[in-house]
Structure 1
Amino acid sequence: MANQGVSNERKRELTQMDPFQESISRSVEWVLAHKKLLMISAGALVGVVVVFSAILFSFKQSEVKASELAAKAYEKYEEHYSQDRDARKGYDAVKDDFQTLFDEYPNTSAGRMALINFGNICFEAKDYDHAFDLYSRALSSMGDKAGVKNFLLCTLGTICELKNDPEQGKSYYLRVEEGPSNLLKDDARFALALIYEKLNDADASRRMYEKIAESQGTSMYKAIAQARISAQ
């Protein structure tokens, strides 16, 4: 039988690595050469994860503490208010608690919601300056939500009217009337119609009443608006 031995050329081919093997080999060599750098990078990544986890935990703890403070403040207000339905007494009992909440946890969800809720308490207690400040801060931090935004704008307009500043009140109502959301739009239009009447601008007042009368759906102001239009 003829000699089936492997030729020298074939032996050289067998001793050579294929492309995949070469790639693995180069990767191993690179890792060995940059082992220190990789260890530093890995350590940095672990550090980032630890710091991020700590920040996330801190945020969660802040939210929990803020929620607890807010809940206790609301309970205290109800306790004092319910005794003789005195809004001022309830306000005096909790104003420091809410201020602590705003000072220590201003960037929490509970802290931002407390701006509105304590604003309502101030409004009921007729502390309109304090209420205006709180609603304005809430508008800056939560005004991207249409429902909240329109509520705050209408409330700010109402406070301006109570403080005998209809021009400034008009500016807040107009932001609702000209905005994309229909929520509280007829409320703003009715308030604007009354302001225009006080300012002796009959045409502008009539336009607001007409918009209310022509609006879709049911509105508590529609019958009044129609009556005002007929009377003009």
Structure 2
Amino acid sequence: MTYRIKVPPRTLPVDEAHLVSNLEHWLDGVRVYRGPLLVGAAILVLAAGIVGGVLWYDSQTMQKAQDLEREATLHYFTRPADDPKKSDTNLKEAVTLYKRIVEEYPRTATAPLAAFQLGNALVQANELDAAIEAYKRFVLMYGSNASLLGLVQQRLGYAYLLKGDRDQAAKAYSAVLDVPGALNRDHALFELARLEESLSRPEGALAHYQDLMKNYPNSPLANEAAVRLKVLEVKKSPDPAPASPAPPKKP
């Protein structure tokens, strides 16, 4: 006697009435919450538009700042040495353009460099007070830019020296030593040592020269510091006692 093995169906019959009921419930829910859904969709579209607009505006702003910086730098570095009038015109144009970047586009990545170059250009124009203010403004606005901050403080020290204010120059040079990762600390130490020499304070000068030679032996200023150190040590050593006169010869 043979037996037939019943194989269960591979798929279950679909309850079409149940599916239709669920679809109707979903459509009813959509109709009920259509207003909030439309509002949410509109908000998403608006937010996307705002984000896109901001990104586009930032891109345009950055491009304008970069264009101004290139033009300013071209004027600044192409001043003809044989034409003082043209050189002065170029310098003034560079100052104007650097000022525009700092004032109109202060939050762009180009602004810190423009602020630094503005101070440098004003020093070249012998507008020392304006240059000092430009450097101070950099410190206030872009003090977190460690790669430029040390250079700005050094230039600020130069500007003060040109004005004859040695105390403020010393403070600016000392500030370089407090900038994490500053690459010009050797220059700051050298300038501090020279300041101490000019103020007839050899002990302070010796300390700065020794610090430079110890911590920055590969600096291009280390050899000059060594020479100055020897000169100061010679000046510091007491003069040898004068030789006693020879007794007169007996006749």
Relative to the length of structure 1, the TM-score reads: 0.75
How far, CA to CA, are the matches of 1:30 and 1:174 in structure 2?
Answer: 71
Q: Secondary structure at the match of 1:82?
A: coil
Partner of 2:157: 157
Structure 1 residue 50 displacement after superposition: 0.6
1:210 correspondence with 2:210 = yes
Q: How far 1:159 sits from its partner (Å)? A: 1.0
1:168 match: 168
1:24-35 superposed matches below 5 A: 33-35=32-34
Q: d(CA) in 2 for partners of 1:89 and 1:204?
A: 43
Alignment of 1:100-111 (within 5 A): 100-111=100-111
RMSD: 3.0
Residues 203 and 33 of structure 1: CA distance in aligned 2, closer, same or farther (over 3 Å): farther
Pairing 1:177-188 to 2, within 5 Å after superposition: 177-188=177-188
Any idea what the Cα deviations from partners look like across 1:111-138, whole Å, max 9, x if unmatched?
4322222322222222222222222223
Contact 2:120 2:155 in 1 (8 A): no
Matching residue within 82, 85, 104 for 1:84: 82
Could you say which residue in structure 1 is the equivalent of 2:237?
none
For structure 1, list consecutive stretches of 5 or more residues without a partner in the other structure.
1-13
Larger-gyration structure (1/2): 2
Which stretch has the larger CA shift, 163-172 or 127-136?
127-136
CA distance in 1, matches of 2:183, 2:54: 37
CA distance in 2, matches of 1:30, 1:148: 61
Deviations 1:181-207, CA, capped at 9 Å, x for gaps: 251111101111122233444333222
Asked if 1:51 corresponds to 2:60, the answer is no
Contact persistence 2:66–2:110 (CA under 8 A):
yes
For residues 145-178 of structure 1, give each alpha carbon's deviation from its aligned partner in whole angstroms, at most 9, with x where no partner exists. Answer: 3221111111111111111111111122112223
8 A Cα contact 2:146 2:181, kept in partner = yes
1:62 aligned onto 2:61:
yes
Pick closer, same or farther for the CA change 1:228–1:82 going to 2, 3 Å.
closer
Matched with 1:131 is 131
How big is each residue's C-alpha offset from its partner over 1:75-96, in whole Å with a ceiling of 9 and x where there is no partner?
Answer: 34455x2262545342234443
The alignment's TM-score, normalised by the length of structure 2, stands at 0.70
> What runs of 5+ residues in structure 2 fail to find an aligned partner?
1-14, 234-251
Q: How many residues align?
A: 211
Do the aligned residues in 1 keep the contact of 2:196 with 2:202 (CA within 8 Å)? yes
- Which region of structure 1 is more displaced relative to structure 2, 193-202 or 154-163? 193-202
User: Is 2:125 aligned against 1:121?
Assistant: no
C-alpha distance 28-85 of structure 1, shift in aligned 2 (>3 A): farther
Q: Evaluate the alpha carbon distance shift between residue 205 and residue 27 of structure 1 in structure 2; reply closer, same or farther with a 3 A threshold.
A: farther
Matches within 5 A, 1:4-23: none
Instruction: Give the stretch that moved more between structures: 182-191 or 116-125.
Output: 116-125
* Bigger helix fraction: 1
Q: Which residue number in structure 2 is paired with residue 144 of structure 1?
A: 144
1:51, distance to aligned residue in structure 2 (A): 1.1
User: Which amino acid counterpart does residue 80 of structure 2 have in structure 1?
Assistant: S
Partner Cα separation in structure 2 for residue 100 and residue 146 of structure 1: 23
Find the aligned partners of 1:186 and 1:85 in 2 and give their Cα distance. Answer: 36
Matched residue SS, 2:80: helix
Change (3 A) 1:188 1:97: closer
Q: Distance in 1 between matches of 2:204 and 2:155?
A: 22
| Rounded Cα–Cα distance in structure 1 between residues aligned with 2:28 and 2:141 | 54
Give the distance between the partners of 1:78 and 1:223, measured in 2 at CA. 31
Counterpart secondary structure, 1:109 = coil
Distance 1:229 1:72 in 2: 45
Paired position in structure 2 for 1:4:
none
1-structure distance, mates of 2:198, 2:108 = 42
